[in-house]
Amino acid sequence: MTQQPLAKYRHDYRAPDYTITDISLEFDLNADTTTVTAVSNVVGQGPAGAPLILNGEELELLAISIDGQPWPHYRQEGPLLVIEQLPGAFTLTIINVIHPARNSALEGLYLSGDALCTQCEAEGFRHITYYLDRPDVLARFTTRITADKTRYPYLLSNGNRIDGGEMADGRHWVVWQDPFPKPCYLFALVAGDFDVLRDSFTTRSGREVALELFVDRGNLDRADWAMTSLKQSMRWDETRFGLEYDLDIFMIVAVDFFNMGAMENKGLNVFNSKYVLARAETATDVDYLNIERVIGHEYFHNWTGNRITCRDWFQLSLKEGLTVFRDQEFSADLGSRPVNRIGNVRVMRGSQFAEDASPMAHPIRPDKVIEMNNFYTVTVYEKGAEVIRMLHTLLGEEKFQAGMRLYVERHDGSAATCDDFVDAMEQASGIDLAQFRRWYSQSGTPVLSVRDDYNPELGQYQLHVSQMTPPTADQIEKLPLHIPLDIELYDVEGRVIPLRRDGQAVDNVLNITDSVQTFIFDEVPSLPVPSLLRGFSAPVKLDYPYSDQQLTLLMRFATDQFSRWDAAQSLLSIYIRLSVARVTQGQPLTLPLHVADAFRGVLLDANLDPALAAQILTLPSENEMAELFSIIDPAAIHEVHQALIRCLATELADELLAVYLANKTPVYRVEHEDIGKRALRNICLFYLAFGEHDRAVRMATAQYHAADNMTDALAAISAAVAARLPCQATLLAEFDERWHHDGLVMDKWFTLQAASPAGDVLAQVKSLLNHRSFSLNNPNRIRALIGAFSAGNPSAFHAADGSGYRFLVEILTELNTRNPQVASRLIEPLIRLRRYDEARQALMRKALATLQALPNLSGDLYEKITKALG
Ligand code: ARG
Ligand code: ZN
């Protein structure tokens, strides 16, 4: 490590001394060497004579001039270019050279296969040219691209194509102009050869927008669903939020090499092909729904992110939390609201709560950052969305939308802060959000403890609610938060008892604001069963001493489907906690009959939505189970997980088979009803794979061979691998033979094996590094194989001999220089050492120390490792 990376603090924000109103960029494109000429209109807005300090990394500077005159008054200070003796307003011309083909970090301009593309968020633009690379500098971009016409027939950038032509030497050029001022992180350029799916959309006000979807040649048969999703997104944003698209063209490009999901560049979204390409044979139902969600997410950024952007990167959740909330609502409006909610909550409980308990704990609006790329987290995104959802709960749809309108009216065309957003919500609704704002600055997972009292004489029921947020790695002191607690009461017959106080109806959402509060309800005729934190009305852990009887009642009678699922989760949690304790004491495991019966009831309930039944029957993953414990015993959790599966498989064998047989879908259609049926049928198959052996083999093999779609094929092979059926080897080989040329499809195959419960899984993962379809250059492959092992197979990764840790160190040593962003995501399970026993902690610490000693340790890894060891 040559120099220690420096931290930046939110409180140090200062407006820049200069801004750039217009920039004209010229790219003379070649994969090896690209020349960039940037002509910027710069205007001083700070003290006269201040130096202009531009960001630039790994650039070869050729020339600088001011107002057309070569300018000698500059110096390079590490990643900064300092220009001095400047007038108050001027034209700055910078010429520099970059090398896209050498760019393995996939940030800035790089090669994805044969195409050239860019990724600039958060701070990638400085890898393209020297610039004020910060989101509060908004300029109008004009981009001229010149490139070889055969290699790069399509030359794309933001905005509208305003000119183009051919040149004598086989090269051609185009000019794009984006009329909307934007920060440079929203800049995009793509050059390559593609197949194009074209369509159009007429906005509510009657403007016609051309839609273009660019995919690798030969992939046109996998582009339809993304296009459909785009049109649905455009329509939905108009109807639900009243927001309309603003340019004449909207383009999406799918690329195979991409560090994350997708990017909302103005008018030219660039996507990981994983979130675009789908046809029945290659993509699962889950893939289809993810594509719909991510297409929506990036499209919705056009308003929440692009038209209104962030003042600084500490405000990231301003656009991401809000846009995730919007994509969640989009998916819920198009499909099943409860099933979507369950998915969101599983991410919160399984991943976000774990982040809060990790060395990387941070508020949704972080205060201190070394590497911004490290803060594209479940906290900023998913918890950020939960915070928006709480606002929505407190205000209601109407006032929330009034707040949105005020926010847009005030901040359109500018860079805003989280406080600006809450101000708009507060002023449009008249609701006091002073205490609520703490959600932005306080990290950690609050624990909400609820105890109750019933007085039969008075017919009075009391809820005693207390809140406490345990200290986190980044913050010791915690204050009480404003927590919306949604509740309902049931009588023993499962009927709702209306909430009343002093002869008045009381709202279902209680405002928890103090450390300790009591709520009294009158006219309660009998001892009620409370349904608490309905719909996960706040991102907190609930502590209420539910009995099995109360939970089974809620499983059957709760008026909303989410609460039924949640009751099932709580019931399982009780037995997971108990069983892990028994395993550690060497006692045998059992599941009481009434628990198995509650799940039997789900299988037998013909009125239950199959999609919901599937969710209830899906056990929490080992990672989700781990979050029930402060110190995690991965081996015991694995054993309990396996035992629970086998137990339910045995107890419910007949019902599982009956439901499996009853839920066949004749032809593959991506319809919510069918998706639900397939999910239910496939979870049945999963359990059946652990049942009677010969039948299990027959069923998995038959379903795999009969499947005309990836959902059913993958479910069959997954069941075989999970239950370690002897047919797994053949099925895996057949899959490989058919799909080895297709990286996206093979990712499923890699993941399946990396997540296998087999004892030799690490050896298998190591040998798959040499598979013909694997490459350490492609982030999707890395995540599918290595990420699935280290983050998705905790009992193997945390093997007591430290072999999992040593493996990850080898991989990270390689990726540290090759692709720091991907490396930094992969290291997560290793930095969470405090959650494990002393022996594992020692091994993890040793692994981290090895990495810390690497020459050229990236800032990304440095930030996480120092936090973990600190
Ligand atoms: N803004 C993009 C999105 O939410 C993600 C960009 C992630 N950037 C990063 N450096 N990790 O869709
Ligand atoms: Zn986003």
Give residue-wise pLDDT tens across range 676-696.
999 999 999 999 999 999 999
Tokens, residue 111: 């090669």
List CB-based neighbours of ion ligand 2 within 5 Å.
Answer: 320, 323
The pLDDT of 238-263, averaged and rounded, is: 98
The type of residue at 647 is C
pLDDT tens-digit series, residues 21-59: 999 999 999 999 999 999 999 999 999 999 999 999 999
Residue-level pLDDT at 4: 82
**Could you tell me the residue ranges of all domains in the chain?**
1-192, 447-546, 557-869
Helices 548-557 and 593-604 meet at what angle, rounded to 10?
0
Q: Which numeric CATH code is attached to 557-869?
A: 1.25.50.10
Q: Measured at the alpha carbon of residue 203, what is the angle toward residues 212 and 279, in degrees to the nearest 5? A: 40
| Top mutation candidate among 123, 127, 260, 826 for ligand 1, by most atoms within 8 Å of CB | 260
Residue-level pLDDT at 1: 43
Nearest residue (by CA) to ligand 1, atom 3, is 263
The pLDDT of 623-647, averaged and rounded, is: 98
Q: How far apart are CA 821 and CA 349, in angstroms?
A: 24
Residue-level pLDDT at 736: 98
Which H/E stretch holds residue 428?
Answer: helix 418-429
Q: Cβ(30)–Cβ(40) under 8 Å?
A: no
- Tell whether ligand 1 has an atom less than 6 A from the beta carbon of residue 385: no
Helices 838-852 and 859-869 meet at what angle, rounded to 10?
150
pLDDT tens-digit series, residues 747-785: 999 999 999 999 999 999 999 999 999 999 999 999 999
Helices 803-818 and 761-768 meet at what angle, rounded to 10?
20
The pLDDT of 732-752, averaged and rounded, is: 98
Q: In what order do the strands lie in the sheet with 496-497?
A: 496-497, 488-490, 529-531
**CA contacts within 13 A on the Cβ side of 153:** 8
Q: Cβ(129)–Cβ(28) under 8 Å?
A: no
* pLDDT range class, residue 3, cuts 50, 70, 90: low
CA of 782 to the centre of ligand 1 (A): 18
472: DSSP letter: B
Spatial CB neighbours of 323, under 8 Å, sequence gap ≥ 6:
297, 300, 301, 304, 305
For residue 186, the ligand closest to its alpha carbon is 1
pLDDT tens-digit series, residues 92-110: 999 999 999 999 999 999 9
- Tell whether ligand 1 has an atom less than 6 A from the beta carbon of residue 639: no
**CA contacts within 13 A on the Cβ side of 224:** 5
Query: What CATH number does domain 447-546 carry, 3.90.1150.10, 3.40.190.10, 2.60.40.1840, 2.40.33.20?
Result: 2.60.40.1840
Tokens, residue 141: 């971009």
Superfamily of domain covering 1-192:
tricorn interacting facor f3 domain (2.60.40.1730)
pLDDT tens-digit series, residues 639-671: 999 999 999 999 999 999 999 999 999 999 999
Q: What percent of the chain has pLDDT over 70?
A: 100
Tokens, residue 292: 């719909």
| Top mutation candidate among 327, 371, 376, 819 for ligand 1, by most atoms within 8 Å of CB | 376
CA of 517 to the centre of ligand 1 (A): 40
- Whether pLDDT at 2 is above 60: no
What is the average pLDDT value for the chain, to the nearest integer?
A: 98
Q: What percent of the chain has pLDDT over 90?
A: 99
Q: How far apart are CA 46 and CA 27, in angstroms?
A: 31
The pLDDT of 586-595, averaged and rounded, is: 94
For residue 860, the ligand closest to its alpha carbon is 1
Residue count (the chain)? 870
Nearest residue (by CA) to ligand 1, atom 5, is 263
Residue with tokens 């594992």: 840
The pLDDT of 706-730, averaged and rounded, is: 98
Q: How far apart are CA 458 and CA 442, in angstroms?
A: 40
CA-wise closest residue to 185 among 259, 122, 116, 263? 122
Atom of ligand 1 nearest to the CA of 323: 4
Q: How far apart are CA 867 and CA 857, in angstroms?
A: 14
Q: What is the pTM of this model?
A: 0.99
- Tell whether ligand 1 has an atom less than 6 A from the beta carbon of residue 576: no
Q: Of 3-7, 597-601, 796-800, which range is least confident?
A: 3-7
Residue-level pLDDT at 668: 98
Q: Please provide residue 488's backbone torsions phi and psi, each rounded to the nearest 5 degrees.
A: -150, 155
Helices (H), 460-560: 548-557
Q: How far apart are CA 655 and CA 602, in angstroms?
A: 10
**Same fold across 1-192 and 557-869:** no
**Catalytic residue status for 298:** yes
Q: How far apart are CA 808 and CA 828, in angstroms?
A: 11
β 460-468/447-455 pair status:
antiparallel
